[in-house]
Amino acid sequence: MQGRSISRGIADGELLISSEPISFLSGVDPNTGIVVEHGHPLEGQSIAGRVLAFPYGKGSTVGSYVIYALKQNDLAPAAIINTEAEPIIAAGAIIAGIPMVDRLPPEFSRLPTGTRVTVNGDTGEVSYDETA
């Protein structure tokens, strides 16, 4: 699937999907990689090493630094996919060296959580194992 490249690099992992935006400041614990925002669909789940897909970011610009802290703690997502990237998440992905894409075609929304995907932030492409 072809999207738009936001942050360079290539990574793969299990897809973790949220229908809701994510605030990294106060929404994700940088010391555990666990989503801690009360009532969030991913509350209690680890984002570490997974391909995190969510519509867009929300909250403070400090969220960019939380993404960077997650990377420094080896707890960051392997890659990020957004419906529409915005500056907070894009800046965090870029400074942390996390591959990121957005604007994927509608068929992306049919992939279930747990699907193994590869995100190519250099080209904006996302591929997945169709036999899984």
The full set of domains in the chain, from first to last, is 4-128 (3.50.30.10)
Task: Give the model's pLDDT for residue 132.
Answer: 52
- Reported as half-sphere exposure (CB side, CA atoms, 13 A), residue 69 has a value of 14
Residues contacting residue 2 through CB under 8 Å, at least 6 positions apart:
104, 105, 124, 125
pTM of the model: 0.96
State the catalytic residues: 60
> According to the model, what pLDDT value does residue 57 have?
96
Low-confidence ranges of the chain (pLDDT < 70): 131-132
